[in-house]
Amino acid sequence: MKKSEYNSYDNLPLFLNAELVAKVLGVSPSSGYELMHEPGFPVLKIGRRMVVPKEKFIQWVEEHTARGDRA
In tens digits, what is the pLDDT along the chain, a chain of 71 residues?
667 777 889 999 999 999 999 999 999 999 999 999 999 999 999 999 999 999 999 999 999 987 655 44
**What is the fold, at CATH topology level, of the domain defined by 9-63?**
Arc Repressor Mutant, subunit A (1.10.10)
pLDDT recorded at residue 6: 78
Q: Is the dihedral of CA 60, 53, 22, 8 positive or negative?
A: negative
The domain spans of the chain are: 9-63
pTM confidence score: 0.82
**CA separation for the pair 63, 60 (Å, rounded):** 5
pLDDT at res. 29 = 93
- CA-to-CA distance for 17 and 71, rounded, in angstroms? 29
